């Protein structure tokens, strides 16, 4: 039996205001298997930590329970403390008597005190059953794979390479640049996207640390954080690369306008989408930058822009907002008016979402300086009549129906994930949301990490975003890769599954259920083995095993039962 020390924290008045800490300390002193107990005002303070270190040395403790706040707060702190005193850090556990006790029972000191004693008792039992563990260390291949050579991928590649690490940039198309290469100019300042982009491409292609693979695709991904093995197919040839981290920057497609039959998207040449209009506006496009009706090449005098053509419309398209359409439509309408000053541009919208620095002012300019006519309402129907495209819509502000006989209709169709994204997500074992966009680890605080360790996200593959946001995310993903590469080795939490080979029948059910491919049946011994660096400790295998041959280290069934019994006894 271990000699366990219990350290009860007052957390100022946070705990001591509700829980009688002295009584708790006293009660634990006579608890079976507890060799020592003491309370202190702030256990996480330096004197508090010294108290723990001293007790380990003087009382020869080989297990520590700190009764304090949530382990999410200070488990690392106290594990470091006991490690400094020479004890295995996994023999230190935190009993949460603040969030789970004192804070929620402020009106009942007696019961809160009894509950605190019970909570600590269970954790004492846990420590008695804990194994000393050592974090798993994995070497890192200091080379990054970027999937997608659009602006987000280019930014990630150049930032990683600028810090001196090797990058492999895989691009499906023949050239780098992605969607940005198709655009005419940027909003706000009408800068040439081609010029802005060629600077970035130049930086990437010139950097000796970056290997650019165009007309290439990721075929298969194996391995794990620090040691991925990625098979890339380039023009029929497969080659395997070892990389330590992966940045996904596969960008977007547009929702096919053909599916919007009430807008005539599938039938009429003069109904085009936002990217087709960009090509028309672009000096390198099919009309050398001149706006012409695709049907007969005439200069359109009445142009209708339809926003939310499939966005914010769960019935006919997608329910989300595509975020960038309000701004590029304002830009497109302005560029049209600059080219055809006597022409009229109409924009049908639901809300004008000018979300960015200077964006509001920009849409105001479209309205006021360029006399673009904004109509608040949805378009119900687009159909041909007398050589024109009739647009039926509503103006919800006047409450009237609006009919425009247009020469050209531009549909701002929704951004959807790239067609290859779903297959890639499966290869990478990365989650996607209901629309197929890659899921970030946390919407607020971990926007460029996926939940799969070592796989990061940048740009529109995660959700619709514009150029500055994609650039920012590319840079942010690079920072994550750089932090990773600066480590000597990757340490991996040793709270992973283990197999009792005596009990394992080699049925393989656990191999099937493991979401991380962290299990296999050993070819010789025919029992299940755990690939510890892949295991995330989720516990699916424990539940699935018919023989109860699997357990999670330091959460073994006997351990949990002992903890529950402590509750019943207490």
- Of residues 29-68, which lie at the interface with another protein (CB under 8 A)? 41-42, 45-48
> Which span (142-150, 436-444, 525-533, 561-569) binds another protein, by CB under 8 A?
436-444
Map 338-363 to HEC letters: HHCCCCEEEEEECCCCCCCCCHHHHH
Residue carrying structure tokens 């006519």 = 373
User: According to the binding rule CB under 8 A, does residue 564 interact with another protein?
Assistant: no
User: According to the binding rule CB under 8 A, does residue 357 interact with another protein?
Assistant: yes
For β-strands 388-395 and 379-385, DSSP reports them as: antiparallel
Q: Which is nearer to another protein, 117 or 151 (CB)?
A: 151
Dist CA 73 CA 123 (whole Å) = 17
Dist CA 2 CA 445 (whole Å) = 40
Q: Which is nearer to another protein, 396 or 525 (CB)?
A: 396
> Which span (89-97, 194-202, 382-390, 544-552) binds another protein, by CB under 8 A?
194-202
Q: Are 372 and 347 in contact (CB under 8 A)?
A: yes
Residues 379-398 that bind another protein (CB under 8 A): 396-397
Using alpha carbons, list the distances in angstroms from residue 192 to 153, 256, 278: 20, 26, 12
User: According to the binding rule CB under 8 A, does residue 436 interact with another protein?
Assistant: no
Q: What's the token pair of residue 88?
A: 């295995």
Dist CA 512 CA 507 (whole Å) = 10
**Exactly one of 86, 443, 523, 546 binds another protein (CB under 8 A); which one?**
443
User: According to the binding rule CB under 8 A, does residue 513 interact with another protein?
Assistant: no
Q: Which helix (H) or strand (E) holds 333?
A: helix 325-339
**Exactly one of 83, 109, 367, 479 binds another protein (CB under 8 A); which one?**
479
**Exactly one of 38, 109, 194, 354 binds another protein (CB under 8 A); which one?**
354
Q: Are 458 and 470 in contact (CB under 8 A)?
A: yes
Q: Which is nearer to another protein, 266 or 351 (CB)?
A: 351
Q: What angle do CA 145, 150, 156 make, to 5 degrees?
A: 45
Q: Which is nearer to another protein, 336 or 374 (CB)?
A: 374
Q: Which is nearer to another protein, 25 or 462 (CB)?
A: 462
Residues 291-320 that bind another protein (CB under 8 A): 312, 319-320
Residues 85-144 that bind another protein (CB under 8 A): none
Q: Which is nearer to another protein, 47 or 539 (CB)?
A: 47
> Which span (218-226, 416-424, 438-446, 522-530) binds another protein, by CB under 8 A?
438-446
User: According to the binding rule CB under 8 A, does residue 375 interact with another protein?
Assistant: no
**Exactly one of 4, 85, 151, 498 binds another protein (CB under 8 A); which one?**
151
**Exactly one of 205, 380, 426, 483 binds another protein (CB under 8 A); which one?**
483
Q: Is 192 exposed, middle or buried (0-12, 13-18, 19+ CB in 10 A)?
A: middle
Q: What's the token pair of residue 428?
A: 């990478």
> Which span (140-148, 235-243, 474-482, 494-502) binds another protein, by CB under 8 A?
474-482
**Exactly one of 139, 164, 387, 515 binds another protein (CB under 8 A); which one?**
164
In a 13 Å sphere around the CA of 473, the CA atoms on its Cβ side amount to: 31
Give, rounded to a whole angstrom, the gap between the first and last alpha carbons of the chain.
Answer: 20
User: According to the binding rule CB under 8 A, does residue 373 interact with another protein?
Assistant: no
Helices (H), 374-508: 421-428, 467-485
Q: Are 407 and 345 in contact (CB under 8 A)?
A: no
Q: Taking the complex as a whole, how short is the minimal distance between the CB of residue 12 and another protein, in angstroms?
A: 3
């Amino acid at each position: 039996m271990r000699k366990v020390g219990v350290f009860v924290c007052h957390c100022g008045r946070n705990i001591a205001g509700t829980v009688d800490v002295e009584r708790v300390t006293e009660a634990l002193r006579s608890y079976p298997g507890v060799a020592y107990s003491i309370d202190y005002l702030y256990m996480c303070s330096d004197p508090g930590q010294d108290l723990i270190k001293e007790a380990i040395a003087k009382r020869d403790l080989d297990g520590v329970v700190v009764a304090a706040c949530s382990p999410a707060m200070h488990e690392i702190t106290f594990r470091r403390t006991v490690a400094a005193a020479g004890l295995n850090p996994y023999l230190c556990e935190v009993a949460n008597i603040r969030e789970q006790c004192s804070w929620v029972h402020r009106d009942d000191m007696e019961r809160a005190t009894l509950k605190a004693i019970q909570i600590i008792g269970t954790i004492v039992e846990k420590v008695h059953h804990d194994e000393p563990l050592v974090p798993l260390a994995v070497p890192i291949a200091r080379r990054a794979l970027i999937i997608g050579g659009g602006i987000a991928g280019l930014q990630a590649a150049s930032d990683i390479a600028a810090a001196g690490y090797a990058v492999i940039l895989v691009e499906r198309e023949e050239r780098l640049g992605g969607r940005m290469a198709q655009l005419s100019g940027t909003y706000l300042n009408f800068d040439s996207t081609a010029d802005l982009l060629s600077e970035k491409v130049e930086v990437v292609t010139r950097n000796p640390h970056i290997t650019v693979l165009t007309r290439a695709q990721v075929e298969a991904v194996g391995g794990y954080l620090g040691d991925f093995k990625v098979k890339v197919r380039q023009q029929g040839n497969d080659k395997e690369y070892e990389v330590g981290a992966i940045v996904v920057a596969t960008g977007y497609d547009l929702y096919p306008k053909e599916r919007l039959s009430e807008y005539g998207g599938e039938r009429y040449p003069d109904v085009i989408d936002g990217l087709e209009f960009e090509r028309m506006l672009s000096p390198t496009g099919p009309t050398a930058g001149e706006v012409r009706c695709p049907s007969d090449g005439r200069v359109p005098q009445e142009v209708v822009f339809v926003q939310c053509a499939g966005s914010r419309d769960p019935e006919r398209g997608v329910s989300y907002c595509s975020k960038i359409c309000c701004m590029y439509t304002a830009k497109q309408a302005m560029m049209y008016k600059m080219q055809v000053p006597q022409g009229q541009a109409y924009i049908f919208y639901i809300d004008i979402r000018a979300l960015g620095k200077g964006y509001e002012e920009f849409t105001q300019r479209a309205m006021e300086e360029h006399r673009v006519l904004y109509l608040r309402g949805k378009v119900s129907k687009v159909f041909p009549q007398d050589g024109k495209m009739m647009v039926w819509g509503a103006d919800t502000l006047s409450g009237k129906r609006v009919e425009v006989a247009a020469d050209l209709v531009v549909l701002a169709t929704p951004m959807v994930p790239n067609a290859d994204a779903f297959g890639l997500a499966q290869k990478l074992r990365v989650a996607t949301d209901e629309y197929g966009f890659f899921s970030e680890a946390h919407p607020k605080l971990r926007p460029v990490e996926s939940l799969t360790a070592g796989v990061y996200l940048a740009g529109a593959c995660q959700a619709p975003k514009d150029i500055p946001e994609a650039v920012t995310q590319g840079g942010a993903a690079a920072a994550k890769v750089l932090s990773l590469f600066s480590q000597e080795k990757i340490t991996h939490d040793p709270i992973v599954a283990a197999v009792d080979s005596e009990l394992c029948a080699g049925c393989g059910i656990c191999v099937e259920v493991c979401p991380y491919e962290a299990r296999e049946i050993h070819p010789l011994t025919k029992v299940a083995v755990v690939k510890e660096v892949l295991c995330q400790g989720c516990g699916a295998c424990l539940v699935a095993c018919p023989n109860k041959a699997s357990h999670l280290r330091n959460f073994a069934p006997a351990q949990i039962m002992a903890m529950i019994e402590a509750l019943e006894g207490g």
